[in-house]
Amino acid sequence: MAFRAPIRTMATAARQSLKIGLIPADGIGREVIPAAKAAIIALGSDIPKPEFIDLLAGFEHFTRKGTALPEETLRSLREECDCALFGSVSSPSSKVEGYSSPIVALRKELDLYANIRPVTSVASTPGGKPSIDLVVVRENTECLYVKQETLIIGEHGKEARATRLITERASRRIGQMAFEIALARPRKHLTVIHKSNVLSVTDGLFRETVRGVPSLPGMDGKFDNVTIAEQLVDSAVYRLFREPQIFDVMVAPNLYGDILSDAAAALVGSLGLVPSINAGDSFVVGEPVHGSAPDIAGQGIANPLASIRSAALMLRHLGYAKGADRLDKAVDEVIREGRILTPDLGGSAKTQEVLDAVLKRI
């Protein structure tokens, strides 16, 4: 099993129960989130007794009710839940008046400033390269995702402009998170991703702030053993495919991190294998990296492994490493055996068959 260091164990009081919000949202989210729920239940006493709270969000909810992220969902997450799992969202590629992505809004509302995406290979993953073990740490609240866009009619026709926001505060927070993750891993290597040769002000601020984290007051040599490198984002994509073994932890602004983590998923065979968490200082949301996959939604062939791995990542972040390890080990065994896999991995199994195989090994 690939090395899985704790990320940043969230301080938690002893709990009798663990209240988990479930937000399937759109498409195959409604198929893979129940699979993650079943895997969590199978852990038994390795975690506090799970209590699940079903919550609404998504584009389909927007088309029915006029809101993609209901206030009731936010209230429940803030007041009732200890953590949450989010499925997938069908955000349209063209503008729909009044709609904005609920997962982007959720990250901002709960200050989930870090999107953490481990990408690890298992030996027999179809199409995967061997020995992939890296983590993409993506700033989750800024960059072009602030969605401040304008469209005007200029001298030469339509002109579209977007504001890109990079702040010292957000860059420092994500930088510190990335250094802590790197420190917990065997290689202790951190690569800062940027394009400051072109965007010298915005990416320049990100680069300088992240590199300055070890010198912050109170660090006192904490990160002396972490090796710092940097890479321009375009060459990082190239090297990710040519020599992925050079990367350990990659930290990037929002847009670059989004692109890099999806590209990295290709190295291990499928988006259906890659988990993530959206983490802040007091809350965490597990989220498989894949989208809503409307072309296969409802067919019962969605890959549940990324959602189960996301549940493991969420539990590990909360301090329940034993339960998280059991989920990861079960998923790895199913992949390694290669007999029961969904079509995205070259198999013919149904979602439920893959889930049953994982539950058997838990």
* Residue 137 domain-assigned (yes or no): yes
**Shared domain check, 196 and 137:** yes
**Domain at 14, CATH number:** 3.40.718.10
Rounded to whole angstroms, the Cα distance separating 243 from 247 reads: 8
* Residue 126 domain-assigned (yes or no): no
**Shared domain check, 317 and 239:** no
More confident residue, 8 or 249: 249
Model-level pTM greater than 0.75? yes
The pLDDT score that the predictor gives to residue 127 is 56
**Shared domain check, 342 and 244:** no
Question: Is there a contact between 254 and 138 (Cβ–Cβ < 8 Å)?
Answer: yes
What mean pLDDT, rounded, does the chain reach? 92
**Shared domain check, 255 and 149:** yes
Instruction: Give which of 309, 321, 327, 311 is closest to 273, Cα–Cα.
Output: 309
More confident residue, 3 or 7: 7
* Residue 138 domain-assigned (yes or no): yes
Tokens coding 97? 């008046």
* Residue 282 domain-assigned (yes or no): no
The pLDDT score that the predictor gives to residue 157 is 93
Per the structure, the complete domain to which residue 10 belongs is given by 1-110+290-361
Rounded to whole angstroms, the Cα distance separating 334 from 258 reads: 27
**Shared domain check, 259 and 305:** no
**Shared domain check, 349 and 245:** no
Rounded to whole angstroms, the Cα distance separating 172 from 153 reads: 38
The pLDDT score that the predictor gives to residue 3 is 41
State pLDDT tens for residues 150-160: 999 988 899 99
% of the chain with per-residue pLDDT over 90: 81
The pLDDT score that the predictor gives to residue 121 is 85
* Residue 272 domain-assigned (yes or no): no
* Residue 202 domain-assigned (yes or no): yes
Rounded to whole angstroms, the Cα distance separating 15 from 5 reads: 23
* Residue 28 domain-assigned (yes or no): yes
**Shared domain check, 227 and 196:** yes
The pLDDT score that the predictor gives to residue 266 is 85
**Shared domain check, 331 and 222:** no
State pLDDT tens for residues 291-336: 899 999 999 999 999 999 999 999 999 999 999 999 999 999 999 9
The pLDDT score that the predictor gives to residue 126 is 54
**Shared domain check, 213 and 140:** yes
**Shared domain check, 143 and 263:** yes
**Shared domain check, 327 and 234:** no
**Shared domain check, 13 and 78:** yes
* Residue 308 domain-assigned (yes or no): yes
The pLDDT score that the predictor gives to residue 6 is 47
State pLDDT tens for residues 225-280: 999 999 999 999 999 999 999 999 999 999 999 999 888 888 887 788 999 999 99
% of the chain with per-residue pLDDT over 70: 94
